[in-house]
């Protein structure tokens, strides 16, 4: 096992070894719980010690009658140790002084490792005391390891520790638990959640490595190790340990008594043996993994019985999560139905959606026992939590179940709700057509019944769908009906949401500032109505809508605000989509490295996650590759388009245009025309000026636009109608350098040179090459060369100039003298010198000079 995070410890121990060389010995107690990695550290030290050190190793064993001086016998058995003849003498003090003499007079320094001294026999403990007091003028490092958590107050090691630790040259070090980062490193490429593993194992190195090779169940090796420890306890203590193992966290002392009837001293004994630890409530296991190991080993009938009885013990408790845990463990459908749904609702209310989903999921197999209406409400809550944690696949299945019940009950209000819920779930899996049909169905069923909350919700969903498809007029019409009805019946939350939808429609199709105003108003209305989540959704709309209409700086702020809110509430769906949009904005701003980093966060498609996130992220990644001329562009863009094909056009017009751009740069305009034909027709049936503008522009670019459509975003329209100057100025104002350069490329020679500068500074190789070719073909000379590549800092090799400077530094010249010699400025010399230093890994001039001496010699 690699020695993660142990470098500092090993460095210190290595330092003691160094001192041993010169005749100054050290005695070390190395403390660490079982599985922490003490043996690994000891072995690593032995390796560092190498051949020039004599390494002696001995072990203490948990035998019922330990061998006297057992570790010494281990060393004696090793023929290289020179300790062979020590096993003989009966007088132990003679033995001790002989050992000491060997440590003092050895030619090579000695590393003596004695492991597990918490199991040491009395004679060995005496020897350690003897040696520890006299270690100072030996040539040895004596390294002992022990489990500090397993030695109770009366353990025989305690007085030895107490005595020796006050002496000079005796030190205690601890092998700490691994951090989450170390777990991540150990996990490598494995698809595991490092945080969960760390939580369950407490960072215990042994548990971590074992858990990494299993599929998540308790590894048999861990179970054996844990049960072995428990097995060493007396019967009462073992019973107490079993009782504690069934609690999700810790168990109070009297509960243990109620459950297994043991006196409180029994749990205390388990505490002293290191199997349990105490906390403010009672007793628990040090590591979750150990708890699972013990619980798993309890035969099922007894285990289930414990859980059942715990429910009685906890009868007056209001900790619904705890009660639900026990109910679920009994496997009894009645008990589960009694306790789990409550815990799920509580968790959901607290915005602990992952926890809520666990409880919902545990209850779901038994829902048939619920009355249909109750079942419907349960499923409704369940799918809402699923939606929050972005598990859209399961949410969809639950929505279908809701539909079945609603039809069975033939209740129009429930039907309306079920269709609406199903509409959303279906939309999130990317099937927009189907989603729209569902939403309209809900409307059909509910309209005849007059004003109702369900009708408001359905109207708003239809408005939402029109907004998604960028249909301004029809969308606004639904919004107004929803707003009016919501106000009439006093449905505060939906009033806010309808205003939010109106704002979004305005923002992306019509009046940007009016849209922002409405969206900000919706946040207020949401707070007034006691629906704080409106704020999250509003930031999402402001951020993504703002990105679409290219008010970038404000959009990024809104996206960040939304992400912060969502993270605090376990709402994964919002975070992924907002991050993907940040990637897209950064791409359009020409900040390509940032765009890639953000896209990479999102771009792995998990089958249950809302598709629009990877569609957007892959679109941004693909576009960066197209513009840089890097490989993998088509692959990323095709993936994005495939994922988003059944969805709303607004999500895929960017990757479609990026692919068209790629064909244009590759001189395959006919492929671009074929690609954009249908999307162009579709987008022209909608009201989004930016979507119409971008698709129309690229169609024009490749020669496939018969006439200029109306209602296009200004800079795109200007480019198509030949106003390259106006377009460039507008792109510059908006902050899209690449598009600015595209516009300038259509201008006069000076403008074209300006475009080249921008393309070069962005690293847009294909566009730059194309423009250069056009200029050459037009007979224009003095085309500026590419950027001076040495503007990049610190190339790995010394450049010729730097080699010159280095040479003069080596000859002892000052920076000023070098500047004179080479006819360059002193500032330039200083720049070169600092670059040289960092390449050589030196910090001072004298070090650098020393290096040149080495090289010459």
Instruction: Give the residue with the Cβ less far from other proteins, 316 or 667.
Output: 667
Minimum CB separation of residue 138 from other proteins in Å reads 38
* Stretch of 64-72, 213-221, 495-503, 621-629 contacting other proteins, by CB under 8 A: 621-629
Please pick, from the candidates 793, 844, 846, 853, the single residue that binds other proteins as defined by CB under 8 A. Answer: 793
Which string of DSSP letters, residue by residue, matches 30-49?
EE--TTSSHHHHHHHHHHHH
7 lines the binding site for other proteins (CB under 8 A): no
Please pick, from the candidates 667, 797, 844, 853, the single residue that binds other proteins as defined by CB under 8 A. Answer: 797
Q: Which residue has the tokens 């949410």?
A: 395
Instruction: Give the residue with the Cβ less far from other proteins, 77 or 803.
Output: 803
Instruction: Give the residue with the Cβ less far from other proteins, 632 or 722.
Output: 632
Please pick, from the candidates 778, 789, 846, 853, the single residue that binds other proteins as defined by CB under 8 A. Answer: 789
Please pick, from the candidates 795, 811, 812, 847, the single residue that binds other proteins as defined by CB under 8 A. Answer: 795
Angle between helices 800-810 and 826-840 (to 10 degrees): 90
792 lines the binding site for other proteins (CB under 8 A): yes
Minimum CB separation of residue 680 from other proteins in Å reads 30
Angle between helices 288-297 and 235-245 (to 10 degrees): 110
Phi-psi region of 161 (alpha: psi -120 to 50; beta: other; left: phi over 0): alpha
In the chain, the N- to C-terminal Cα span, in Å, equals 41
Sign of the C-alpha dihedral computed for residues 328, 333, 338 and 340 taken in this order: positive
Minimum CB separation of residue 780 from other proteins in Å reads 23
Contact 577, 601 (CB under 8 A): no
Distance CA 536, CA 553 (A): 19
Minimum CB separation of residue 583 from other proteins in Å reads 12
Please pick, from the candidates 214, 749, 790, 825, the single residue that binds other proteins as defined by CB under 8 A. Answer: 790
794 lines the binding site for other proteins (CB under 8 A): yes
Beta bridge partners of 174: 31
CA 733 to chain centre: 36
- Which residues 566-605 are close enough to bind other proteins by CB under 8 A? 593, 596, 600
Of 130, 135, 143, residue with least CA distance to 91: 130
Beta bridge partners of 56: 112
843 lines the binding site for other proteins (CB under 8 A): no
CA 432 to chain centre: 30
Distance CA 642, CA 635 (A): 11
Instruction: Give the residue with the Cβ less far from other proteins, 514 or 600.
Output: 600
Contact 547, 508 (CB under 8 A): no
DSSP-derived pairing of the beta strands 276-278 and 283-285: antiparallel
CA 215 to chain centre: 20
Please pick, from the candidates 59, 155, 765, 821, the single residue that binds other proteins as defined by CB under 8 A. Answer: 765
300 lines the binding site for other proteins (CB under 8 A): no
* Stretch of 132-140, 162-170, 316-324, 847-855 contacting other proteins, by CB under 8 A: 847-855
Binding mask 459-498 for other proteins (x = CB under 8 A): ----------------------------------------
Phi-psi region of 471 (alpha: psi -120 to 50; beta: other; left: phi over 0): beta
779 lines the binding site for other proteins (CB under 8 A): no
* Stretch of 99-107, 408-416, 439-447, 800-808 contacting other proteins, by CB under 8 A: 800-808
Binding mask 626-645 for other proteins (x = CB under 8 A): --xxxxx-------------
Please pick, from the candidates 55, 290, 673, 798, the single residue that binds other proteins as defined by CB under 8 A. Answer: 798
Minimum CB separation of residue 711 from other proteins in Å reads 37
Beta bridge partners of 305: none
Instruction: Give the residue with the Cβ less far from other proteins, 431 or 851.
Output: 851
Distance CA 611, CA 605 (A): 8
Distance set, CA 281 to CA 253, 256, 275, 408 (Å) = 8, 12, 17, 49
802 lines the binding site for other proteins (CB under 8 A): yes
Please pick, from the candidates 156, 799, 814, 825, the single residue that binds other proteins as defined by CB under 8 A. Answer: 799
> Rule CB under 8 A: which residues touch other proteins?
593, 596, 600, 625, 628-632, 763, 765, 786, 788-790, 792-803, 839-841, 851, 854-855
């Amino acid at each position: 096992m690699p020695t993660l995070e142990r470098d500092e410890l090993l460095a210190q121990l290595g330092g003691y070894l160094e001192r041993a060389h010169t005749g100054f010995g050290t005695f070390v107690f190395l403390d660490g719980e079982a599985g922490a990695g003490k043996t690994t550290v000891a072995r690593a030290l032995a390796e560092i010690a190498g051949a020039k050190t004599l390494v002696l190793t001995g072990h203490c064993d948990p035998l019922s009658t330990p061998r006297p001086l057992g570790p010494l016998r281990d060393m004696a058995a090793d023929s290289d140790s020179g300790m062979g003849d020590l096993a003989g003498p009966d007088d132990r003090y003679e033995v001790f002084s002989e050992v000491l003499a060997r440590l003092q007079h050895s030619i090579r320094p000695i590393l003596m490792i004695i492991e597990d001294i918490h199991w040491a026999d009395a004679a060995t403990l005496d020897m350690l005391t003897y040696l520890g007091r006299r270690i100072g003028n030996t040539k040895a490092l004596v390294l002992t390891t022990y489990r500090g958590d397993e030695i109770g107050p009366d353990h025989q090691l305690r007085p030895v520790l107490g005595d020796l630790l006050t002496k000079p040259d005796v030190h205690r070090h601890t092998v700490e638990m691994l951090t989450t980062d170390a777990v991540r490193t150990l996990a490598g490429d494995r698809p595991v959640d490092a945080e969960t593993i760390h939580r369950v194992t407490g960072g215990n190195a042994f548990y971590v490595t074992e858990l990494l090779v299993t599929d998540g169940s308790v590894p048999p090796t861990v179970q054996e190790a844990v049960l072995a420890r428990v097995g060493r306890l007396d019967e009462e203590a073992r019973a107490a340990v079993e009782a504690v193992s069934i609690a999700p966290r810790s168990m109070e002392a009297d509960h243990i008594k109620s459950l297994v009837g043991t006196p409180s001293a029994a749990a205390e004994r388990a505490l002293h043996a290191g199997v349990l630890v105490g906390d403010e409530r009672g007793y628990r296991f040090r590591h979750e993994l150990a708890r699972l190991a013990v619980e798993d080993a309890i035969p099922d009938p007894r285990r289930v019985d414990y859980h059942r009885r715990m429910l009685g013990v906890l009868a007056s408790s209001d900790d619904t999560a705890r009660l639900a845990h026990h109910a679920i463990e009994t496997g009894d459908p009645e008990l589960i139905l009694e306790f789990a749904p409550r815990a799920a609702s509580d968790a959901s209310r607290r915005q602990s959606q992952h926890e809520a989903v666990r409880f919902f999921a545990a209850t779901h197999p038994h829902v048939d026992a619920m009355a249909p209406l109750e079942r419907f409400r349960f499923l409704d809550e369940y799918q809402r939590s699923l939606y929050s944690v972005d598990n859209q696949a399961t949410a969809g299945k639950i929505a279908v179940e809701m539909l079945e019940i609603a039809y069975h009950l033939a209740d129009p209000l429930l039907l309306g709700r079920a269709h609406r819920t199903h509409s959303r779930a279906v939309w999130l899996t990317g099937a927009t057509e189907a989603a729209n049909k569902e939403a309209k169905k809900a409307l059909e069923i509910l309209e005849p019944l007059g004003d109702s909350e369900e009708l408001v919700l359905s109207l708003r969903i239809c408005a939402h769908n029109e907004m998604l498809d960028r249909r301004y007029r029809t969308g606004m019409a639904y919004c107004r009906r929803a707003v009016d009805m919501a106000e009439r019946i006093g449905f505060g939350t939906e009033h806010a949401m309808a205003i939010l939808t109106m704002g979004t429609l305005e923002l992306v199709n019509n009046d940007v500032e009016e849209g922002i105003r409405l969206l900000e108003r919706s946040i207020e209305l949401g707070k007034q109505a006691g629906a704080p989540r409106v704020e999250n959704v509003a930031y999402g709309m402001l951020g993504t809508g703002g990105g679409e209409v290219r008010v970038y700086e404000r959009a990024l702020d809104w996206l960040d605000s939304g992400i912060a809110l969502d993270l605090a509430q376990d709402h994964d769906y919002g975070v992924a989509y907002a991050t993907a949009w940040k990637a897209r904005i950064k791409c359009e701003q020409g900040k390509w490295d940032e765009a890639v980093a953000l896209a990479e966060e999102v771009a792995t498609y998990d089958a249950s996650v809302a598709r629009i996130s990877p569609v957007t992220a892959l679109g941004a990644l693909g576009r960066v590759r197209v513009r840089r001329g890097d490989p993998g562009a088509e692959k990323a863009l095709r993936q994005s388009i495939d994922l988003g094909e059944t969805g709303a056009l607004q999500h895929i017009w960017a990757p479609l245009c990026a692919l068209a751009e790629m064909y244009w740069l590759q001189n395959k305009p006919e492929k671009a025309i074929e690609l954009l034909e249908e999307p162009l027709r579709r987008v022209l049936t909608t009201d989004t000026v930016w979507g119409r503008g971008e698709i129309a522009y690229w169609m024009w670019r490749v020669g496939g636009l018969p006439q200029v459509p109306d209602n296009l975003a200004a800079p795109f329209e200007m480019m198509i109608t030949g106003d390259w100057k106006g377009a460039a100025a507008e792109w510059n104002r908006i902050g899209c350098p690449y598009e600015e350069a595209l516009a300038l490329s259509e201008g006069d020679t000076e403008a074209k040179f300006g475009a080249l500068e921008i393309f070069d500074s962005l690293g847009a190789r294909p566009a730059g090459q194309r423009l250069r070719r056009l200029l050459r073909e037009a007979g224009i000379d003095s085309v500026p060369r590419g950027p001076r590549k040495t503007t990049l800092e610190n190339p790995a090799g010394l450049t010729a100039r730097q080699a010159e400077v280095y040479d003069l530094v080596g000859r002892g010249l000052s920076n000023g003298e070098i500047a004179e010699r080479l006819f360059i400025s002193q500032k330039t010399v200083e720049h070169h010198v600092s670059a040289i230093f960092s390449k050589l890994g030196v910090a001072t001039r004298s070090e650098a000079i020393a290096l040149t001496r080495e090289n010459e010699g």
